[in-house]
Chain A
């Protein structure tokens, strides 16, 4: 970006892609795929004390069509996995995914007959958040990580960022 200070009416010059990404990064609309304990910490993150709207991501949308950042908050079971996949596929490009907490990242301490050992067995994940559950600060940090990604690679669809992971 450059500011032309010589001109009487100040204006900015930038590339379209940069401008779009800059806007997009401060208006991520999260889809909370809240299934377990982590969803409660997601509620804390949204509530007034931690206030996710400071980062421009307060517009929680449960409709996959309207959201561009999925937060997998909780344990994904084998029973849940096809539903997670369907909902992810319903989201429009470009889209990002946060695996919040140990269960969504790796199955956590549930290594058993019902628990999927990490959501990335089903859909591609962009940022993993440690913790069981992660504190709201951890989740906010993950959000800033996504913002960095958005700034760098915003217009690239998820299918290109994760080759071989998403069926066209």
Chain B
């Protein structure tokens, strides 16, 4: 499919496409940077590429054009993915794609922040992950990983000019729409920080709101408070050592991160996990989805005042944690998958235990549905709040439950099955209005589907080996390591030098609990990654947050934020 698209583009643009490459099933076209916007526009309008998943920078200090910027495009309607690549160097700006894809806004800011690549006509090209006093660009190869820079004070997001402009705009609002005054003076407006330490932000996020009474005239969000440099750490460690860092991306569903990271590196190595490992990955990924949705829904309900549900939902989560602890020895940060398999097999009695726990989950969830489904307060707080249209959701880069709440049944487990998801029968729950209520309901329904998948996987768990036989990828079994010199050397080399991933690049992705989780990997053929870029599902989702709450009231912002399920760990990486 992608090949056909590339052929069409070559006919359309001819010599403007400088190079075409295909690796691990991913197509990449390199275009002249002056033609970038023309190509992107064409792809969006005529080829159905409605989503810009991510923008990935890579630094090659030895090249003339030292920066490579990749635009990862996706067409859900045609089920096609394509990378568009441009090269640039210090001082040469790339035209910003913000006019074509809304998700380009933050994605380009990130490339600017971490690499120092300039984007012409970007509306708000500021740092995003590093603090405002930071100097230099940390993901450049010459930036030492340990060189920290202190920050003396937080940044003010609104200046006097912004406040004056908001006041002028608010003066025009008629009272029945929300503004209470005929004329608003800048001194009438109040600047309030929501976060970075706030009960309803569920992590270190900050939204600065410009308030007229309780109405949000304007909001600006700021992230990066828990930027832990996953991508720089990944370059500093061997491929296998990155696994524990993936736990701490979306710490509510670490198992799924492990499995998808392993999938991405396996793709680079050209190996495939065994059927048994795949089935176990499906089980743990779906358990992760359940506990992730549970924590999202329970926290969201607490935010809108329904505390009781927290106890019902969190008990299930706690009991599933105990099973996960049995699997890998840890509750939250699991480090369970391995490149080429899993660290342990399931323990005896796991299947029955999980079946019982999933039955208990259904009881708990039904209790919650009884409490909220027709609850007037809950409905008033969530229906029509934070709504987004299908078109906007795609343009902002929404995936996962937040996209499905708008009515689009897009799920990577169906459209690009991995781990053998095609063998399982399940439905994709969708909403209709894309509001907070639908997002919560989609998550509640998805838990039921996840349960169905887990039960099928437990019933049909394949026998056979857990790990692949290729010991250039996975360490040999312990008997071999302890009893043979070859085994000991094999383990030594894998631990010290790392897996020698063939040079090249690949994008491994899957349906994380909150949407598309992807790892864009570049290898130079050594044991360390040259570059790993995470495509976290909630980064593009949170970039749309301010547009969802502007013009609404503060309590609506709280209800909306909870339903988007922003996990700061993967947002800031």
B58 contacts the other chain (CB 8 A)? no
Look across to chain A and name the residue whose beta carbon is closest to the beta carbon of B252. Answer: A40
Whether A113 touches B568, Cβ cut-off 8 Å, given contacts A43-B295, A133-B332, is: no
Q: A41-B331, A77-B226 are in contact. Are A82 and B314 (CB under 8 A)?
A: no
Q: Which of A35, A62, A82, A133 contacts B226 (CB 8 A)?
A: A35
- Quick one: closest A residue to B254, CB to CB? A37
A87 at the interface (CB under 8 A from B): yes
Q: In the bound complex, what is the Cα–Cα distance between A143 and B182 (angstroms)? A: 54
A135: chain B residues at CB < 8 Å are 331
Q: Which of B145, B153, B224 contacts A112 (CB 8 A)?
A: B145
> Does A19 sit at the interface, judged by CB under 8 A?
no
Contact of A77 among B203, B225, B318 (CB under 8 A): B225
CA distance A167 to B412 in the complex (A): 54
**Which of the 9-residue segments B33-41, B156-164, B228-236, B538-546 touches chain A?**
B228-236
Contact B199 A113, beta carbon cutoff 8 Å = no
Cα–Cα, bound, A81→B321 (Å): 31
Collect the chain A residues with CB atoms within 8 Å of residue B318's CB. 44, 47, 49-50
B29 to chain A, nearest CB (A): 34
CB <8 Å contact, B229 and A114: yes
Say yes or no for A156: interface residue by CB 8 A criterion: no
B146 near A48 with CB under 8 A, answer no
Are the CB atoms of A113 and B226 closer together than 8 Å?
A: no
Question: Are B198 and A62 closer than 8 Å at their CB atoms?
Answer: yes
Contact call A79/B131, Cβ cutoff below 8 A: yes
Q: Which of B198, B224, B252 has the most CB of A within 10 A?
A: B224
**A83 contacts which chain B residues (CB < 8 A)?**
154, 196-197, 225
* Interface size range on B against A: 35 or more
**Secondary structure of the B contact surface, majority rule:** loop
Tell me the complex Cα distance, A78–B251, Å: 21
* Known contacts A36-B203, A37-B333, A47-B310: A112-B226 contact under CB 8 Å: no
Q: Please, which residues of chain B bring their CB within 8 A of the CB of A112? A: 145-146, 148, 228-229, 232-233
Using Cβ atoms and an 8 Å threshold, which residues of chain A touch B198?
A: 62
Within 8 Å of chain A (Cβ to Cβ): is B315?
yes
Find A47's partner among B131, B145, B315 (CB 8 Å cutoff). Answer: B315
A83 to B153, CA, bound (A): 8
- Which residues in window 80-134 of B have CB below 8 A to A? 129-131
Nearest-neighbor residue (CB-CB) of A60 within chain B: B199
The residues of A that contact B229 with a CB separation of less than 8 Å are 110, 112-115
A29 to chain B, nearest CB (A): 14
A113 and B154 contacting across the interface, CB-CB below 8 Å: no
Q: Does any Cβ of B come within 8 Å of A118's Cβ?
A: no
Give A77 to B223 CA distance when docked, in angstroms.
Answer: 12
Q: Which residue of B lies closest to A33 (CB)?
A: B197
Q: How many residues of A contact B (CB 8 A)?
A: 38
Contact B153 A82 (CB under 8 A): yes
With beta carbons under 8 angstroms apart, the residue of B138, B152, B247, B248 that contacts A113 is: B138
| Pairwise interchain contact A77-B227, C-beta atoms closer than 8 A | yes
Report which of B151, B204, B314 forms a contact with A74, defined as CB distance below 8 A.
B204
Contacts of A109 in B (CB 8 A): 244-245
Whether A78 pairs with B203 at a CB distance below 8 angstroms is no
Residues of B contacting A139 in the complex (Cβ-Cβ under 8 angstroms): none
Q: Say if the beta carbon of B149 comes within 8 Å of chain A.
A: yes
Please name all residues of chain B whose beta carbon is closer than 8 Å to the beta carbon of A41 when the two chains form the complex: 331-332
Is A34 close to B, CB under 8 A? yes
| CB-CB under 8 A for A78 and B204, given A110-B229, A112-B232, A113-B232 | no
Considering only CB atoms, which chain A residue lies closest to B143 in the complex? A113
Across-interface contacts of B317 in A (CB, < 8 A) = 44
Provide the residues of chain A in CB contact with B341, threshold 8 Å.
none
In the complex, chain A residues whose CB is within 8 Å of the CB of B247: 37
Contacting residues, chain A, for B202 (C-beta < 8 A): 34, 39
A144 at the interface (CB under 8 A from B): no
Let me know if A80 is at the binding interface, CB within 8 A: yes
Is A127 among interface residues, defined by CB-CB distance under 8 A? no
- Distance (whole angstroms) from the CB of B172 to the closest CB of chain A: 35
Q: A48-B314, A112-B229, A133-B332 are in contact. Are A77 and B145 (CB under 8 A)?
A: no
A125 CA to B153 CA in the complex, in Å?
A: 21
CA distance A114 to B137 in the complex (A): 12
Cβ of A132 < 8 Å from any Cβ of B? yes
**Residue in B closest to A64 when the chains form the complex, CB atoms:** B197
User: Is there a chain A Cβ closer than 8 Å to B492's Cβ?
Assistant: no
Residues from 208 to 263 in B contacting A, C-beta threshold 8 Å: 224-229, 232-233, 244-245, 247-248, 251-252
A78 and B332 within 8 A (CB): no
B470 at the A interface (CB under 8 A)? no
B142-181, CB under 8 A of A: which get 1 and which 0?
A: 0111111111111000000000000000000000000000
Known: A36-B203, A109-B244. A81 touches B150 (CB 8 A): yes
Q: Is the CB of A113 within 8 A of B311?
A: no
In the complex, chain B residues 187-203 whose Cβ is within 8 Å of any chain A Cβ = 196-199, 202-203
Closest to B150 in A: A78
Residue B386 at the A interface, CB < 8 A? Answer: no
Complex-state Cα separation, A83 to B251, whole angstroms: 23
Task: Tell me the bound Cα distance from A115 to B199 in angstroms.
Answer: 23
Would you call B244 and A111 a contact (CB within 8 A)? no
Instruction: Kindly state whether residue A75 has any CB partner on chain B within 8 Å.
Output: yes
Let me know if B476 is at the binding interface, CB within 8 A. Answer: no
Q: A35-B226, A40-B332, A115-B229 are in contact. Are A79 and B295 (CB under 8 A)?
A: no
Report chain B residues within 8 Å CB of A110.
Answer: 228-229, 233
With beta carbons under 8 angstroms apart, the residue of B144, B145, B333 that contacts A133 is B333
> Are B224 and A77 touching (Cβ within 8 A)?
yes
Any A CB within 8 A of the CB of B397: no
Which listed residue, A36, A48, A116, A117, touches B569 by the CB 8 Å rule?
A36
24 chain-A/chain-B pairs, Cβ below 8 angstroms: A34-B203, A35-B226, A37-B247, A37-B333, A40-B332, A49-B318, A50-B318, A62-B198, A62-B199, A74-B226, A75-B228, A77-B131, A77-B225, A77-B228, A78-B131, A78-B148, A79-B225, A81-B150, A82-B153, A82-B154, A112-B148, A112-B228, A113-B148, A133-B333
Known: A112-B148, A113-B147. 7 other contacts (CB 8 A): A43-B314, A47-B314, A74-B226, A78-B151, A79-B227, A80-B196, A110-B228
* Closest CB pairs A-B (n = 9): A37-B251, A79-B131, A112-B229, A47-B314, A62-B199, A35-B204, A49-B318, A78-B151, A80-B225
Residues of B at the A interface (CB closer than 8 Å) are: 129-131, 138, 143-154, 196-199, 202-204, 224-229, 232-233, 244-245, 247-248, 251-252, 295, 299, 310-311, 314-315, 317-318, 321, 331-333, 568-569
